[in-house]
Structure 1
Amino acid sequence: MDIVDFLSERISEDEAVARTLLGDRTVSKSGAWYEQRLLLECEAKRRLIRIVETARQAALASLVSDPGQDPGWIPQSLEWLEQSLNALALPYYDHPDFDQDWLRA
């Protein structure tokens, strides 16, 4: 499974749990605050994934579009982007679909 697909599925699961808990009238005010915070964190992660994926696609397009160009910066950039996604996946390390290769920093 691709890390972006993995993250998207986990974030959707987190969001569904938060929405379910927010609908529970027995949840305290602090619990509701936490669930609202979780929803915002889900959105922040989605935005970050879009940014990273856009940067990754731009780096790959640059590599393909101008083969004569010195691509020295591209591999390093792609490594940073991969590390960013790996960091986002860390909280889900115990999920059965988690790839242990994503633990490397």
Structure 2
Amino acid sequence: MSDIIDFLDARITEDETEARRQLEQLGTAAATADLRAFAECEAKRKIIAHHERIDWDYEPAGDPDYMEKFLFILAEVYSTHPDYKEDWRP
């Protein structure tokens, strides 16, 4: 499971870096429209952090395989990346 988490973390970091680069090119006037990219990255990080905090031994936690599918869904947007693994495809 750490493979997909490491993969997602690296892609989100790349997204943030690209958003920051574009933000610097746009200047402050047009920048507010592109702040969505940062919010999206933060939301993805929260989903991953929540998944990592779950105590899977606690009965109501749910099925780890079922919950892992959420990570696969997040990773699917990066399916053209060379490090993407086809067995992650939901």
**Which of the five TM-score ranges fits, normalised by the shorter chain?**
0.7 to 0.9
Rate the CA distance shift 1:54–1:96 in 2: closer, same or farther, 3 A. Answer: same
Percent identity of the aligned residues?
37
Paired residues, number:
89
Q: Which amino acid aligns with 1:89?
A: A
Instruction: Work out the CA distance in 2 between the residues paired with 1:44 and 1:100.
Output: 24
Structure showing greater radius of gyration is 1
Q: CA RMSD in A?
A: 2.4
TM-score, normalisation: structure 2: 0.85
1:82 Cα deviation from its structure 2 partner:
1.1
- Give how far 1:77 is off: 1.2
User: TM-score with structure 1 length normalisation?
Assistant: 0.74
Shift of residue 81, structure 1, vs aligned partner:
1.4
Q: Which ranges of structure 2 fall in alignment gaps of 5 or more residues?
A: none
How far is 1:26 from its partner? 6.4
Q: For CA contacts below 8 A with separation 6 or more, give which structure has more relative contact order.
A: 2
Q: Which runs of 4+ in 1 moved over 4 A?
A: none
